[in-house]
Amino acid sequence: MPIKTIFLDRDGVINKEIKYLHKIKDFEFIDGIFASCKYLESLGYKIIVITNQSGISRDYYTKSDFEIITNWMINQFHYNDIEILDVFHCPHLPNINCNCRKPKPGMLFEAKKKYNIDMSKSWLIGDKESDIIAANNAGINNTILVKSGHKINEKNTKAKFVLDSISTLKNVVIS
């Protein structure tokens, strides 16, 4: 039976935006992320993180550095009784024509195939329009753009909802 999923971007949604974040000491969770994720789980959603990580290809940090900080992040969620089903990342530079770097939907399709996800009942929460475009290209119309990461143009977004932060998620009707 297909599952419904909340796809979360990492930088700017889960943690405060720091360019090429790769050290645990620099990782700072966005206020309300754990309460919001517990709320989403209470509605029957599984949580998957999808994140562009071009710092790997830029040699700012290694894949191992990314795996260390990712495992630490997953453990922090676990300590708060939240399960992160999986984390998908794109290590490629923006000028590489891969299918995984958002706004392309490759990571979302990979997750759909691996976990039998019903995209029509799933949501994506991101902080850039490229997150929203990736969701729409994968058949996800339920999208939330948060202002906690990058400057956004609310008038031109394709997002279904725009929120100041994931901490105000309960103001959105998610079913």
Domain ranges of the chain: 5-171
The tens digit of pLDDT for each residue in 33-57 reads 999 999 999 999 999 999 999 999 9
The tens digit of pLDDT for each residue in 104-114 reads 999 999 999 99
Instruction: State residue 149's pLDDT score.
Output: 67
Structure tokens at 101: 């770097």
> pTM to 2 decimals?
0.96
CATH of domain 5-171: 3.40.50.1000
Query: What residues have CB less than 8 Å from 49, skipping those under 6 apart?
Result: 7, 8, 9, 10, 14, 84, 86, 87, 88
The tens digit of pLDDT for each residue in 2-34 reads 999 999 999 999 999 999 999 999 999 999 999
Burial of 141-174, coded b for 16+ CB within 10 Å and e otherwise, reads: ebbbbbebbbebeeeebebbbbbebbbebeeeee
